[in-house]
Amino acid sequence: MTSNSFRYLPLDPQLREIRLLTLSSGCPDEPLQCHLSTTCLTARPIYKALSYVWGDPASSKTPGNTLILDGHPFPVTTNLRSALRHLRPAAGGDSMCLWVDAVCINQGDVDERSQQVAMMRDIYALAAQVIIWLGEEDDGSNAVFDALPVIASRKSRRQYDDEGKDQEYCLDLMRQCGSFFFGLTDCHPWLSRVWILQELAMAKKDPLVVCGWKSVSWSTLVKAWRAIARETLANLGTRQKVREATSREKLESTSIGDNAESHSDGPADEDDDEDDDVEILAKVKIEVLDDLRKAVRSRGGESLRKLLLISRTSAATDPRDRVYGLLGLLEKDALDPGSSVTVAVDYRKPTSEVYTDAMAHIFSRGDGPYFLSGVFLPGVSAVAPHIPSLPPMTKQPDLPSWVPDFSRQVPDKATQPNGIRFHPPATMSASGAGTVCKNGRRLDDNRTLQVEGLLVDTIEQVMSLGTTLDASIENLAYLESVASDARQRPCLFRPSVAPLIQKFKNSEPLWRILISNKHFMSGYDPAPLSYERMYLSLLKQHAITAGGDPNHHNPDRAQRSEYELCLQSGVGQQSFFTTKSGFIGTCVPDSRRGDIIAIVFGSPVPFVLRPITQSGPAARGEGQTYSLVGASYVGGIMGGEMVDELYCEDLMDSTTFFIQ
């Protein structure tokens, strides 16, 4: 966004130089007069750092969207111009010193951009104040910002006066402000950008949140939200529904292994006098951001695995920033090149290489197999996200199949089902004793992953479970027949282990397998035995309907059993498969005959791998190379039976898998 008339002077990265923007005072309608100066971070300059959203880059070409920078017109986006116009000191006042990335970094210099982005953690940490610009005021936002301090400083219920006047007044304000918070992410894109995680978390003082001409502190905004969530939702009688929805949402799209959005270990808020209700807040973005801020302040950082999960709904104009925007929040141990693969900011790298670097780092930290088991995988031959600054037809390397597209980690953008769907209950893992092992490394070609595990079997057939719930229910009887036939297939394993294999593949009923043996309301607990009765009832109802009984009354299908709701969540997201030796299970729909099922040590789910002929280890005779297709649930081995009873007892050898 540089102008032909303005020229940047180079910065010295060895001296940790940055530029600062001095915003002169003026009347609201006057042109924005600014000056750039150079300083060193080591000199501890006094400045404020702006946290905002660029907005549409094309808006910088709109007439009037300019600053006067050192006497020269300098184009900026509409949102940045609006932010500076609202923050500018009134005429006659002192000027304001700011750090603003779009102006203080020469965006046209790739090397400088890489160097400055690598310093952003310190830039925001050393700022005297971080200013969060939400955007211009809208209908009702002024009244909301006036009410927030009142709500945040509310008394607890037991402290209200006998007449309840204070309580009623505060509840009325909460009702007025509720819609603002529930529409916050949709109306104010600041919350949905990846860079704001670092900018907020690194602020050493309470940030200032600005909307139009109004402002409150960040802590006031969070406390007001908590008050509204606890009081308003409870009064609406929705607390239990919110708890249930939160529980299921955690299962489907939060942390792998531990709750990435659980409350941090940081200091408790002053007003946490009703902590028993705090779980209703778990999935609200503002609370996630505040938890991250507390975690970084108390522990110094987080793992990249957890940061990628926390930020999965966050967006970035440049897809590489989905990784680069998180590096400043890494825990100190993760920055040690002696124990971890380091990720350097380099805007000359293609997206696929940046994402592969991130995954290599996660594997070096011991989190790789578990992480892969619960994210949206790209599938085979997936195209990497395009970098907007490159011409549209510029060819970039595809993503390796073991590297997620971090810009597509929400259901409406993903191209494959989430692996969480195939996870067994929380107390189980297909890796058994190998669940916590450190497994996997990227090879020198930078695209091949080497992991250890067990080769379970080869897929013999893959069947759709149906495109609707009713179609899935109609298929149940046929699936029972297919499963029974598959389990009678002779075991192709060597005789010494064949009896155990036979025991494994017959040990889990189909009704559990089809829902990954999970309880509908939690996702972490095993499916109760009551689900078997529901399943048998579905089989019976279908048999009666298929028999054409004229006296049969079709029940109200709006009243679905919990088991049906479990089935419904998997419609279109999973297929049924059998293997050559008679295992049965569910897998991602892209699976096909000839794919193999493999347990990768450290993952709670087996993976579907596809043999490929390619250069690399396979060509050198070092082993077969595979593509990672996706996760699976294999009946009878999801509790670690193969690992514990075969591998750990030296009845089965591990296999080295090379995945590209």
Both tokens of 344, joined, read 């350097």
Query: What is residue 259's three-state secondary structure?
Result: coil
Pairing of strands 96-99, 48-51: parallel
Interatomic CA distance for residues 638 and 506, integer angstroms: 13
Both tokens of 233, joined, read 């939702």
β-bridge mates for residue 201, sequence order: none
pLDDT at site 546: 63
pLDDT at site 255: 35
Residue 76 or 266, more confident: 76
Share above pLDDT 90 across residues of the chain, in percent, rounded to a whole number: 70
Q: What is the pLDDT of residues 35-60, one digit of tens each?
A: 999 999 999 999 999 999 998 888 98
DSSP state of 322: H
pLDDT at 242 over 50: no
Q: What is the pLDDT of residues 397-423, one digit of tens each?
A: 999 999 999 999 999 899 899 999 999
Interatomic CA distance for residues 27 and 46, integer angstroms: 24
For 2, counting Cβ atoms within 10 Å of its Cβ (0-12 exposed, 13-18 middle, 19+ buried), the class is: middle
Q: What is the pLDDT of residues 175-194, one digit of tens each?
A: 888 888 888 888 889 999 99
In this prediction, residues 245-271 reach a mean pLDDT of: 36
Both tokens of 327, joined, read 């590096």
**614 to each of 467, 617, 624, 627, how far by Cα in Å?**
35, 8, 9, 10
Phi, psi dihedral angles at 66 (to 5 degrees)? -140, 155
Residue 31 or 247, more confident: 31
Interatomic CA distance for residues 324 and 361, integer angstroms: 13
Please report which helix (H) or strand (E) contains residue 438, including its range. none
Interatomic CA distance for residues 443 and 438, integer angstroms: 16
pLDDT at site 123: 97
pLDDT at site 3: 46
For 105, counting Cβ atoms within 10 Å of its Cβ (0-12 exposed, 13-18 middle, 19+ buried), the class is: buried
Q: What is the pLDDT of residues 129-180, one digit of tens each?
A: 999 999 999 888 999 999 999 998 875 544 444 455 667 777 778 888 888 8
**523 to each of 268, 469, 515, 528, 567, how far by Cα in Å?**
29, 19, 10, 12, 13
Helices (H), ranges, 254-375: 285-299, 304-310, 321-324, 351-364, 368-372
Residue in 591, 586, 647 with CA at minimum distance from that of residue 439:
647
Query: What is residue 137's three-state secondary structure?
Result: coil
Interatomic CA distance for residues 74 and 4, integer angstroms: 9
DSSP state of 84: H
Mean pLDDT score of the chain: 87
Of the pLDDT bands very low, low, confident and very high (cuts 50, 70, 90), residue 614 is low
Burial readout 333-346 (b: 16 or more C-beta within 10 A, e: otherwise): ebeeeeebbbbebb
Of the pLDDT bands very low, low, confident and very high (cuts 50, 70, 90), residue 326 is very high
The half-sphere exposure of 481 on its side-chain side, counting CA atoms within 13 A, is 5
Residue in 288, 417, 308 with CA at minimum distance from that of residue 362:
308
pLDDT at site 424: 97
Query: pTM for this structure?
Result: 0.87
